[in-house]
Amino acid sequence: MWALTTLLLLAALEKPTLSLHPPWTTIFKGERVTLRCDGDRPLVLELRPVSTLWYLGHLLLPSHRASIEVQAPGAYRCQTRGAPVSDPVHLSVSTDWLILQVPFAAVFEGEPLVLRCRGWYDKAVYKLHYYRDGRAVRFFASSANYTVPQARAGDSGRYQCSGTMRIPVESAPMFSAKVAVTVQAPGATRDAPTAAAHPQAAAWAPGNKPPSSRKPLGSASGPEATSIPDATSAGPQVPAGRAAPVCAPLEPLEQPAGAPGPDVDQLLREMRLLRGLLSRAVLELQGAQASPGRRATPELPAPRSAGTPGTPGTPETSPAQS
């Protein structure tokens, strides 16, 4: 009877709800957010020491609290004792000058939709534009949220923002990454996310123009040209002899520091050829000085001007004829 009661209690449990505070799915590198897991915890199971499990991807995190602070990118899930695993919350970490922040929770028709264009560590953004599917939908003179009081299905699309920042002088317009936003129809599952799990890489303008205005700064006040502050590589550094962590993003394949590029190889070949020609010319000059009565004919004659000794068509005067 006791076993049957326990099984009935477990079957009645619903998967917990995972929430994000603040509610934005994209943050800047170095920032922290709070995840909270809310779910049913039946009394018969509270006697066990572990009440909440946390997962980052497929890894089990070393925390059993109802809320945790995180700063690493990835898909987070939680599980209360005996209940199913929650739906994921995808956290993205950016090193761009601008990020477009969207809420983690689903937005249904008739509910407000709020998007936030944020400058690097809350730097003020000027001449702010919001785009949907490549078309400007709102302009602000300075930092402001884009709000749709009652969202409709037509408000779904790929959003992006652009603006200028004073670092210290006003920069050229810079653009955030594109984020897909979907307004849910009434009756859809509320656990569905509002935005895509992984936004596109930042584009210079709607239409994927090159991001040429990102200015390299050597200080920690902003990202460098590669959009990574105080770093020389785009991926995480892993100690020698150790494999990369399971959840760490793959490092980009870079050319070894000692390996010459194609331009360097071409330059080295030309230098070797020039050195060979110079060595041959020196040998010919030495032979001519050793035998003044004979003139060596070089294999690769250099062009000469008309009227100089040795030019075809110009007779030479021997000492006997003078």
pTM, two decimal places:
0.57
pLDDT for the residue 81 = 80
Residues 6+ apart with CB under 8 A from 158: 132, 133, 134, 178, 179, 180, 181, 200
Phi/psi at 317 (5° precision): -100, 120
Hey, what domains does the chain have and what are their CATH numbers? 10-92 (2.60.40.10), 96-184 (2.60.40.10)
- Tell whether the torsion through CA atoms of 49, 55, 58 and 59 is positive or negative: negative
pLDDT for the residue 174 = 95
Looking from the CA of 161 toward its CB, the CA atoms found within 13 Å total: 28
Other C-beta atoms lying within 10 Å of the C-beta of residue 165: 23
What's the chain's length in residues?
322
pLDDT for the residue 250 = 37
CB 182 within 8 A of CB 156: yes
- Which SS3 state, helix, strand or coil, does residue 260 take? coil
pLDDT for the residue 163 = 97
CB 80 within 8 A of CB 41: yes
pLDDT for the residue 315 = 43
Q: What is the pLDDT along the chain (322 residues), one digit of tens a residue?
A: 555 555 555 556 789 999 999 999 999 999 999 999 998 655 554 555 568 999 999 999 999 999 999 999 999 999 988 789 999 999 999 999 999 999 998 999 999 999 999 999 899 999 999 999 999 999 999 999 999 999 999 999 999 999 999 988 888 999 999 999 999 988 776 554 555 434 444 444 444 443 334 433 333 445 543 333 333 333 334 444 544 444 433 333 344 445 444 466 677 777 777 788 788 878 888 877 766 555 444 444 444 444 444 444 444 444 444 3
What DSSP string describes 266-308?
HHHHHHHHHHHHHHHHHHHHHHHHH-TT-----SSPPP--TTS
Of 124, 67, 64, which Cα lies nearest the Cα of 98? 124
Looking from the CA of 38 toward its CB, the CA atoms found within 13 Å total: 6
- Which SS3 state, helix, strand or coil, does residue 211 take? coil
